[in-house]
Structure formats: structure tokens, C-alpha cells
Amino acid sequence: MKAIGVNTGTSRLKDLKVLDVPEKPVDKSEVKVAVYSAGLNPQDYRMVEVPDAKKADLVERPNPLIISSEFSGIVTEVGSAVTKFKVGDAVYGRPPLPIFGCLAEYVFIDQKFIAKKPQQINHSQAAILPVTFQTAYMDLVTKAGVKPGQTVLVLGGAGGVGSLAVQIAKDIGARVIATGLTKDMDRIKDLDVDVAVDSQKGELAKISEKVDIIFDTVGVKAQAEAIHLVKDGGCVVSCMVVNTDPSITDNSTITFIPFEFAQANEEALEFANKMVEKGDLDPVYTNEISFNSNDVISEVKDALNAIWNNTKKGRTVVKIK
Ligand SMILES: NC(=O)c1ccc[n+]([C@@H]2O[C@H](COP(=O)([O-])OP(=O)(O)OC[C@H]3O[C@@H](n4cnc5c(N)ncnc54)[C@H](OP(=O)(O)O)[C@@H]3O)[C@@H](O)[C@H]2O)c1
């Protein structure tokens, strides 16, 4: 089958190419999925371009490395022990780390790492959900344990992960304060936050309401600027940094929950499905690359560079079928 990636440990983004990868037999609990769309993320760039995985807090790089760790497609074969899916089902999901492997004609994946794709969204919309949604869900629900009635401050509420954290927190019944840049205020207000804070206009300093959880997608400086708002016993959870400011770690009443790669998580996908079905979640992608285009390699390289350097806004998918 055709796939896009690099095939040695020393290959980098410049070496990205269309690989011819052998298909494998479907294991007992696996399904074979014809991939219709695959999502691109900063971690695809990092896995290809950063040579020392441990130094970069990454997982070990598989070889060959087929990029993309999220997909949506149609089941074409099921293993003998598969109970949840049948041939023809539309499914989406994310393989467990360190496997990426989704920018390929087929994905072979255990049934526990996928969910049925809700009818309300197309394959490209579904393909951009797993990584960001599972990250927001893991940090906010599983680790920080958000509860109805609590108050959550999302730093970077207009971003990929932050906007999902806002929507999950609202869905659970929390009150949400979200910060963003001036240009993103309309986007943040559209998410129905309770309080929208323009961080470029210094509006955070005017907030006096205490919060139970800070959900950080921006970085250490923003965490330090907001830490005085956290109640005793509250927490700061970050989806991007492992270490934080001493003003946070030295405060024994506040817990800092560091970055960790979110793992494939069926519970999170089921939660996303319920939100989509209720009309509470409508994933938006802005760039769609065709797998069958003659320029696919240069387009994927450009997209990964732009994602990494933050020069292109919105989510990018590669449409395979
Ligand atoms: N743990 C995981 O598995 C995992 C998964 C996905 C992502 N991540 C990490 O999480 C971080 C966020 O990812 P993302 O995809 O959500 O990125 P993103 O879409 O760029 O979101 C960050 C948002 O914060 C905004 N922002 C920047 N500075 C700000 C400030 N001072 N105040 C308020 N808003 C500010 C950004 O605006 P501009 O875009 O205009 O700068 C952007 O809207 C990244 O470091 C990423 O690597 C981790």
C-alpha cells in the first residue's frame, strides 16, 4: 500500500516521500480501515525532524515512520474477535503511541482505539478530532477532574486544543473563562464562554474571580500571570510544558500537572461523539491536501513547516479517498 513518511532513522522532513509499505494480516482484535482522511499535527513535524526523541520529550520514533496519528475511514476487514465493528462501518481514531501510520491507504488498528464516525460530520472533520480532542479530554477530564459547577480558565481558548477544552468544560457544566489574542475575540465569544479575556489588552489583570483549574495551551509566562486566580487546592494543567514557573511549583496548595502525550482513548472519542450528536461540537478544518495530487509531498512538507512555525492558521487534513 502507499503511505507517506520516511524510511530510516536518519531521514528528515526533506526526505519525506511516498513509501510502498507491505500490508499485514489483520490480528484477532484488529480492523483494517481504508483511510479517507488523515490529520496533520505539530507532533508529525517533531517525529520527522527532531532527531533525539528522548531529549524532545517524545516517544521513540518507529521505522519506517509513516506520519499522521489520526484518521477517519471505512472498515474493509475485521479480525475474528472483533465485536464492535463490521465491514462498511465509518470509523475514526488514533493508534497507540509510538505508532503514527495514518497517512496511508490502510490502517490496521485494534478495535479499542476507534469509534464509529458520527453521521453529522464528514471524514475530514472526524480525522482532525482524535489528537486535539483526546489531549483536551485527558488533561481536563481525566487528570484535572473537572466537575459541573467548577470554574475553568482556559489560556489560549481560540486554539486547536484550547477551543476543545472550552467546549468540553461547557458541556460538563463548568463555568469557563478563556483568554485569547485581540484578533481571536470573536472566535472565543462564538464558543459561548462565560467570560472572554483579551490577553493583549491586559484584561486578565481585571479578573478577580477565582478558578478551580487553569488549562494552559500558551506557556509558562501565561501560567505565571494567571496563577493568583487559582483557588487553594486547585490545579494548573498544561498540554505543552513539562516544567513551570517556581511561583507555581513552590505553592504547595496548587498542583501542577505537566504535559504528557495524550494516548489513544476510546472514552474520549465516545464523549466527542455525544457532543457532535447534540450539536455541541463541529470540527473545522481549513486546509485539505489531496493524497493523489502530483504535488502531495511538497504540499505536506509545506503544511508541516507552516504548522510547526505557526504561519498557517487552522487544521490541515490529507484527503486520501
Ligand atoms: N499533549 C499533546 O498530546 C498535545 C496535543 C496537541 C497539541 N499539544 C501542544 O499544545 C499546544 C497548543 O496546541 P494547539 O494545537 O492548540 O495550538 P494553537 O492552535 O496554536 O493554540 C494556541 C492558541 O493560543 C493563542 N495564543 C498565543 N499566545 C497567547 C496569549 N498570550 N494569550 C492567549 N492566547 C494566546 C494562539 O494564537 P496564535 O495562533 O495567533 O498565536 C492560538 O490561538 C502546543 O504546544 C502543542 O504542541 C499537545
What one-letter code names the amino acid at 275? M
42 phi and psi angles, rounded to 5 deg: -55, -35
Q: Are strands 211-216 and 151-155 parallel, antiparallel or unpaired?
A: parallel
Task: Confirm whether 277 is domain-assigned.
Answer: no
Task: Confirm whether 113 is domain-assigned.
Answer: yes
The mean predicted confidence, pLDDT, of the chain is 93
- CATH number for position 51: 3.90.180.10
Residue 53 has pLDDT above 60, yes or no: no
Same domain for 112 and 143, yes or no, is no
**Per-residue confidence at 98, pLDDT binned at 50, 70, 90?**
confident
Same domain for 8 and 91, yes or no, is yes
Cα dihedral 216/219/222/225 (nearest 10):
100
Domain carrying residue 238: 132-257
Least confident of 40-54, 105-119, 284-298: 40-54
Same domain for 92 and 39, yes or no, is yes
- Kindly state if the Cβ of 163 falls inside 6 Å of ligand 1: no
Task: Confirm whether 272 is domain-assigned.
Answer: no
**Per-residue confidence at 67, pLDDT binned at 50, 70, 90?**
very high
**Which residue, judged by its Cα, is nearest atom 15 of ligand 1?**
160
**Closest atom of ligand 1 relative to the 260 alpha carbon:** 1
**Which residue, judged by its Cα, is nearest atom 26 of ligand 1?**
156
Those residues with Cβ within 8 angstroms of residue 141's Cβ, 6 or more apart along the chain or in another chain: 168, 172, 268, 271
Do residues 195 and 207 touch, judged by C-beta distance below 8 A?
Answer: yes
C-beta neighbour count of 59 within 10 angstroms: 16
C-beta neighbour count of 70 within 10 angstroms: 28
CA distance 251 to 235: 11
**Per-residue confidence at 57, pLDDT binned at 50, 70, 90?**
low
Task: Confirm whether 178 is domain-assigned.
Answer: yes
